[in-house]
Structure 1
Amino acid sequence: MKIAIYGAGAIGGLMGAYLARAGEEVTLIARGAHLAAMKQNGLVVQHGGDSFTVRPQATDDPASAGIQDFVIIALKAQSVPPLADKLAPMFGPDTAVVMAVNGVPWWYFHGVGGALEGRRLASVDPGDAQWRHIGPERIIGCVVYPAAEIVEPGILKHVEGDRFTLGEPTGEKSDRVTKFSRALIAAGLKAPVRTDIRTEMWVKLWGNVAFNPLTALTGATLDRLCTEPGTRAVAKAMMLEAEAVANALGVKMPVDIERRIDGAAAIGAHKTSMLQDFERGRPIELDAIVGAVAELGRLVSVPTPAIDMIYALTRQKAAVAGLV
């Protein structure tokens, strides 16, 4: 199959490398020093004490990739809308787009039926750019669990995890999602197909909506945030609000909230991605992870005062630092 990775950084590069090693026709779309290194030396993946190198096509021009069977978008959520119109040269009539992006997806209300069917989310898709240029009918949902990082241009470290949960917005087990799942499995990754991908998204988002901004504000690692009574209480208040929003949208959390927080604490002295982005001076995924939950709350008339407050504080801190 022809598979393009738009945003071949840590996670996108990881997916592309494993797929290329398994024999798929992969194009990595990246930029800067990372792209230059991949063109010259290939992409190196380090995992445990082992490593492997792949040499797929690498470019900064989507048009040069040609029509694809699958396009994987693996960018920060806020980076996708300004680039959505650049994807068209890779789209044929049957091209599917796998959104390996954190937070509430812009296509959330595609295929749900009812009064909110087709509703747009301004917080994650301002101006409906993705809805217009990508189209929700192309989408395969993807919840990303692995951790990876670029240790230097052209070299990425696969830290842990190997699961990418997939699902159609409509809930069907279509030929295309099954085909993509099999490709990932053949590449050595886990890729279960779920008939309710939104529930899986909410379980991951449930922690992120609280832990990410709170660690960014405090500088605390997960273990400290989740065991200190004061910050644990704030996280729990935010998560209870998020759970109420999810429930109003027909999603029931499969895990008890105290167990969810305890699970995060057990990870140890881990810095969330948002805290890492703050420390490295990178733009943060605040709207997709926090602001979008507040927007969903307004849609279903569920108040989110704790989320709103932490969102405002984190946004101000990010604005002062020039990261939004």
Structure 2
Amino acid sequence: MRFVFLGAGAIGSALGGLLAQRGSEVLLIARGDHARSVMANGVTVRCPDTRSTVHVPTVTGPDQVRLTDRDVLVLTTKTHQAEAAVEQWADVPVHDRDGTVLGSAAELLPIFTALNGVASEEIALRYFERVFAVCVWFPTVMTEPGEVIVRTLPPRGIFHVGRYGVSSDPAADTKLVASIGEEWAAAEFQVIRSEDVLRWKYRKLLANVGNVLQALLGDTAGAEDLRRAAEDECREIFASAGIAFAGDEESQAAWGALSIEPVPGEPAQLGSSSWQSLVRGHSTIETSYLNGEIALIARRIGRSAPLNAKLTALARRAAREGLRPGSLGVEDLRAHLGRV
């Protein structure tokens, strides 16, 4: 197998780099300064206990790639970037070992949606026959091109994986996930096959609704009640919509094996993916698929999620105006939310 990481930012570069270090065949699809740095110097992966630079094959688009029927696509963009990536790769031809074109990527290759939120699976399924949902529990940060920070000791990350949509060959899917689990285990990752992986993705979504506070405030001290309020609103909407998600004890049992530790030379607390978007000056942010997802679910059932909706709008504005984490103080945020 070759793992082709579509949108290799923090998650894709860290996962791909650590897999390549242990001998897996990996291809990173990256962009901008990060792509140029990795192509020139390799990707540096810094962990609490190790630091390594790995030279991983890296390209910037499908015109530079010859896909084969051995490839596994792993989507690691932000959710708001997912559709563009999926559409870009869906019709890329897939070859056999003799160079004969067998069909397109969408027809033949599995795609694993390893990103936050619960929308990317439907996006991928519009194009691809074989979609596997992945709940990612793998704290990583990228603030500089060519370098990613992994904040865990072994196991480095935990991934719940399951087929999305009805499978025509469940046995083949089970075999594929098992094979990936074995190969990723060599790089100190845990892959857990799940028949109901969306329960885990909704649980991760609940955990992610607080990301926006760090993105806006930088230091979230004094905003604990706002996080709880956003999470409580999320739980209420899930209950009203009949959405099942892994409970607190269940998720602690599954994810409690991860030990998050400081990385030498870095602050003890590093930011979420939303925080990273503002730090890097991106004009878009994934919050519309996190807090905004809660607002969407609420509207579908005739309810409202005013706190999560307001947080979504503030995050959009921050990205649009080029604001950095800490541009708002806690009291300013309270005023914007009407919670003074």
Once residues 145 and 230 of structure 2 are traced to their aligned partners in structure 1, the CA distance between those partners, rounded to angstroms, is: 37
Paired residue type of 1:162: G
Does structure 2 retain, via aligned residues, the 8 Å contact 1:4–1:65? no
SS of equivalent residue, structure 1 residue 198: helix
Query: C-alpha displacement at 1:153, in angstroms?
Result: 3.5
Indicate conservation of the 8 Å contact 1:199/1:253, yes or no. yes
Please give the per-residue CA displacement for 1:123-173, whole angstroms capped at 9, x wherever unaligned: xx5xxxx444x33x3211112222223464333332224222222225966
Report matched runs for 1:14-25 at 5 Å: 14-25=14-25
Partner SS for 2:151: strand
Contact 2:198 2:245 in 1 (8 A): no
* 1:158–1:250 CA distance, 2 compared to 1 (3 A): closer
- Cα 1:250–1:4 change in 2 (3 A) is same
Q: TM-score, normalised by structure 1?
A: 0.76
1:23-42: CA deviation from partner (whole Å, max 9, x where unpaired): 32211111233323322333
Matched ranges for 1:273-292 at <5 A = 273-282=273-282, 283-292=284-293
Partner of 1:55: 55
The residue that corresponds to 1:13 in the other structure is 13
3-state secondary structure, aligned to 2:116: coil
Q: Is the 8 A contact 2:118 2:198 kept in 1?
A: no
Q: Structure 1 residues 224, 163: closer, same or farther in 2, change over 3 A? A: farther
Aligned with 1:244 (options 231, 236, 244): 236
CA distance in 2: counterparts of 1:154 and 1:214, whole angstroms = 27
**1:74 aligned to 73, 76, 84, which one?**
76
| 1:97 positional shift | 0.7
Q: Which TM-score applies when normalising by structure 2?
A: 0.73
Q: Structure 2 unaligned segments of length 5 or more: list them.
A: 95-104, 262-267, 325-340
In the alignment, structure 1 segments of 5+ residues that lack a partner are 109-124, 227-231
Corresponding position: 1:168 with 2:163:
yes
CA RMSD of aligned residues (A): 3.1
Identity among equivalent positions (%) equals 25
Q: After superposition, where does 1:147-166 map in structure 2 within 5 Å?
A: 147-150=139-142, 152-160=144-152, 161-166=156-161
Task: Give CA deviations for 1:259-283 in whole Å, capped at 9, x if unaligned.
Answer: 9xxx9xx998554432343243223
In 2, distance between residues paired with 1:192 and 1:313? 36
Is 1:94 matched up with 2:80? no
Letter aligned with residue 249 of structure 1: G
- SS of the residue 1:191 aligns to: strand
Q: Write the distance in 2 (CA, Å) between the matches of 1:269 and 1:20.
A: 27
- Equivalent residues of 1:220, 1:271 under 8 A apart: no
1:107 correspondence with 2:121 = yes
In structure 2, the CA distance between the partners of 1:182 and 1:170, relative to structure 1 (3 Å rule), is farther
Q: Relative to structure 1, is the Cα distance of residues 26 and 237 closer, same or farther in structure 2, using a 3 angstrom cutoff?
A: same
